[in-house]
Amino acid sequence: MGALGLGCASPVALNNEYQLPTQIALHQNYPNPFNPSTTISYDLPGAGWVSLVVYDVTGRTITKLVDSELSAGYHQTIWNGMDNAGSPVATGVYFCKMDAEGHSQTIKMLMMK
């Protein structure tokens, strides 16, 4: 388990002291398709509460990657391809949804074994 106890590494701030993002954005994960892990990048123009959750195609929550207050800047979180119970997920399509400061965005990810 990561530092947040949420089944992944804690978010990594990639703040550039010269320029902050101008809008909230969730970027496509890479690599995609992935096995066994993938990096999810997102931008926050201001500090605030962020939720980053992975769902399967039926809408079932697989794991919560981030659920905390984060600083403004460029962030990355690595999903290790595990569910909340610590079991590896099956090959298939997954969705990562970010909610931050009234903004919601979702990306599609593909786990290939």
Q: CA 74 to CA 96: how far, in whole Å?
A: 17
> Confidence band (pLDDT; 50, 70, 90) for 1?
very low
Of 38, 32, 45, 16, give the one whose Cα is nearest residue 103. Answer: 45
Question: Is the residue at 2 inside a domain?
Answer: no
Domain of residue 62 covers: 12-111
Whether the predicted pLDDT of 12 surpasses 80: no
**Tens digits of residue pLDDT in 63-99:** 999 999 999 999 999 999 999 999 999 999 999 999 9
**Tens digits of residue pLDDT in 23-52:** 999 999 999 999 999 999 999 999 999 999
Question: Is the residue at 42 inside a domain?
Answer: yes
Question: Is the residue at 5 inside a domain?
Answer: no
Question: Is the residue at 64 inside a domain?
Answer: yes
Q: What is the pTM of this model?
A: 0.84
- Give the CATH number of the domain where residue 57 resides: 2.60.40.4070
Question: Is the residue at 1 inside a domain?
Answer: no
Q: What total number of domains does the chain contain?
A: 1
Confidence (pLDDT) at 54: 98
The Cβ of residue 51 has, within 10 Å, a number of other Cβ atoms equal to 14
Structure-model confidence comparison of residues 9 and 82, the more confident one: 82
Question: Is the residue at 7 inside a domain?
Answer: no
